[in-house]
Structure 1
Amino acid sequence: MELIRYAFVGVLNTGLGYAVIFLCMGVLDWSPVASNIAGYAVGFVVSFTLNRSFTFRSKGPARRELRRFLLIFALAYLANLAVLVLCVHAMGLDGGWAQVIAGFGYFGLSFALSKYYVFAEGAGHRDAGSTGHV
């Protein structure tokens, strides 16, 4: 169930991030770079908040989890970029397919690191008296 909730949060977060980006560019007349920063900032906050409360139901220290979430966000992005470059330059794949492959890598790595590192200690399914099922 966590994987499904994580995917749901990812879809919601992506849609909201793009909405902010296009609102900033189209309505507020911001530059594409400033709009992108705003969209990713909003998306980051929404992703952290929903993954903490909805996906993993964590009750751990929010400040520590936020620092960890920022770290895994950066690591997953760098892994995504590395896979993208490898697919395009070393394997000669089409850029679109390479983006899809890299995106799956990002999703899998960020889920695993969120589950087993960011929210592991505070996850609701690991509380005393829990059956272990989510």
Structure 2
Amino acid sequence: MRLVRFGLVGVLNTVVDLSLYLLLVGFLPVVLANFVSTSCGMATSFCLNRGFTFRSSGSVVRQLLLFVLVTGVGLWVVQPLVISAVPGFGVLGAKLAGMSVGLVWNFVLYHYVVFPLRSSAQLPG
């Protein structure tokens, strides 16, 4: 179920990110357009992943810092590297390739690092 919720949040984040990216790429350099669009998606993503996907009740400050670190590296290091590595895919194809790699990066690190499951001893009975 967690993976389904992550997918639903991901669809919304993708719409926000991709829409802004396509709007901005006509006016800004590709990497800057990507930075702005992913930043807007990141704010929405934290709130929805914390409350809906992972239903976490841990420390908001700790989770926010880890989330920004994990997501920032995924968005501002991993995605641009992929976008730069596949110029033959075109502007949209390169962005989609970067987003695909980022999807796997985010889920794994959110699941195990940012919003880890509490042990059954900590769960309310």
Post-superposition offset of 1:44: 2.5
Please say which structure displays the higher CA radius of gyration: 1
Number of equivalenced pairs: 113
Residue 105 of structure 2 corresponds to 109
Residue 94 of structure 2 corresponds to 98
Post-superposition offset of 1:50: 1.2
Query: 1: distance between equivalents of 2:94 and 2:38?
Result: 21
Post-superposition offset of 1:46: 2.2
If asked which structure has higher relative contact order (CA below 8 Å, sep 6+), I would say 1
State the Cα deviation string for residues 77-133 of structure 1 (Å, max 9, x = none). Answer: 111111121122xxxx3223332222110111011111111111xx35x44276xxx
Residue 67 of structure 1 corresponds to 65
Correspondence list, 1:32-51, <5 A: 37=36, 42-51=40-49
Residue 28 of structure 1 corresponds to none
Correspondence list, 1:1-134, <5 A: 1-16=1-16, 37=36, 42-77=40-75, 78-88=77-87, 93-95=88-90, 96-120=92-116, 123=117, 126-128=119-121
Normalised by the length of structure 2, the TM-score is 0.70
Query: 2: distance between equivalents of 1:117 and 1:54?
Result: 17
Query: 2: distance between equivalents of 1:94 and 1:17?
Result: 18
User: Aligned letter for 2:78?
Assistant: A
Query: 1: distance between equivalents of 2:85 and 2:8?
Result: 28
Query: 1: distance between equivalents of 2:120 and 2:9?
Result: 23
Post-superposition offset of 1:18: 7.0
Superposed CA RMSD in Å reads: 3.1
Residues 86 and 58 of structure 1, relative CA distance in 2, 3 Å threshold: same
Identity of aligned residues (%): 31
Post-superposition offset of 1:15: 3.5
Query: 1: distance between equivalents of 2:82 and 2:59?
Result: 33
Unaligned runs of at least 5 residues, structure 2: none
Name the stretch that deviates more: 7-16 or 72-81. Answer: 7-16
